[in-house]
Amino acid sequence: MESIEGVKETLERLENEKNGLVKGIERKRVEKTRNEQEIKSLEEKNEGLDKLIKKYEEEKSGKTFEIDRITEEKKIREEESAGIIDQITEINKNILLLQEEHSRIEVKKARLESEMESIQNRMWDEYELTYTNALELKKDIGSITQAQKRITELRNEIKELGPVNVTAIDEYIKTKERFEFMSAQKNDMEQAEEKLQKVINEMVSIMKRQFMEQFKLINENFNMVFKELFDGGRAELILVDKENILESGIEIEVQPPGKKLQNLMLLSGGERAFTAIALLFAILRLNPTPFCVLDEIEAALDDANVYKFAQYLKKYSNVTQFAVITHRKGTMEAADTLYGVTMQEHGVSKVVSLKMGEKVG
């Protein structure tokens, strides 16, 4: 690009020089015309003098002195004319030199224009840039060497990019359409997420409120059932993380009659089992179910507590039907119906049922 600017500046300078030379030639021509006119005038004067000489010769009068004077004047005029002719000759030589220089400049101008056209064609072929577009991208560079170095670097980077994908524009259009579609979908999803998050926050708020309400009731029932089963004492459910109640762990603190308040894990196996039974009945008391299966939950209890457990089952049997899997006699004695498996013959199992006070085969 700098080479083109330099060529343009050279063309402009040469054009200015050409204009100056043309003006000089024109001035010389005007001066030549003036000199020619003066020569013509002198020649006309010479002719007049010749006529006078002839006249004087014919008259043969005492005009010799005048003739000599006129002859001398003629000589001077002729010398002047010769000098003017020499000047004209020199001017003609200068004009010829200027014309030759003008021709050389014209040839150089044509060559530069051809080079400029070639450069512009190469710009379009290689970069699809017109001269006007290239001016918009013009940047100041330190030197042609630096520019050539930068061009080489850029060409190497282009080579590293690999072959040109001629379908890139179509792929871009398709990708853009898909991007716009996916962006719209993304916006819809974000709006849906915002709505869902709002619903979730509302549900979490409701769940927290309902959980705390139910937890409070279960805690009250737990304490009441514990007292009934243990004949005193107290029990409490404690949330470990009150800031995050929905994911918080729950600790159980109980105080059987005659003992200190302590964590559930510090109790004996029977006490832990009886406390767990108390919690189960506390939940059933809050939300009774029509049917409940219990699998040997009283196995760790002593006989007295098994009896208490069985009697407590009887209290809830009017709202919940219990199916109890057990080996404890106290529990079986409180049952309305017993189901068992017997093997009267070797390898043959048989299910039998028994209602209290009546045997059914």
Per-residue model confidence as pLDDT tens digits over 246-270? 788 888 888 788 777 767 677 777 7
State the pLDDT at residue 264. 67
pLDDT at 140 over 70: no
294 φ, ψ (degrees, to nearest 5): -120, 125
Least Cα distance to 309 among 252, 236, 226 occurs for 226
Q: Which tokens sit at 185?
A: 């979908």
Whole-number pLDDT of residue 330: 84
Question: Can you tell me the mean pLDDT for 236-254?
Answer: 81
C-alpha to C-alpha distance for 139 and 287, rounded to whole angstroms: 83
Mean pLDDT of 2-11: 75
What integer pLDDT is reported at residue 12 of this predicted model? 80
Domains of the chain, first to last: 2-159 (1.10.287), 289-361 (3.40.50.300)
What's the whole-number mean pLDDT along residues 197-220? 85
Q: How many CA atoms lie within 13 A of 49 on its CB side?
A: 18
Residues 25-44: tens digit of each pLDDT? 888 888 888 888 888 887 78
Q: Confidence class of residue 60 from pLDDT cuts 50, 70 and 90?
A: low
Over residues 165-193, the mean pLDDT reads 86
- pLDDT at residue 177 tops 60: yes
Q: So what's the pLDDT on residue 360?
A: 39
pLDDT at 231: 80
Sign of the Cα torsion 314, 256, 216, 294 reads negative
Name the band, by pLDDT with cuts 50, 70 and 90, for residue 285: confident
Residue 359 has pLDDT above 60, yes or no: no
What pLDDT, on the 0 to 100 scale, is given for residue 217?
A: 86
pLDDT at position 350, please? 83
Q: What is the mean pLDDT of residues 229-234?
A: 82
Is the sign of the CA dihedral 204, 205, 209, 212 positive or negative?
positive
Which residues are within 8 A (CB) of 87 and not within 5 positions of it... i.e. 6 or more apart? 35
* pLDDT mean across residues, the chain: 80
Distance of alpha carbon 229 from alpha carbon 224, whole angstroms: 9
Dihedral angle of Cα 336, 339, 345, 349, to the nearest 10 degrees = 170
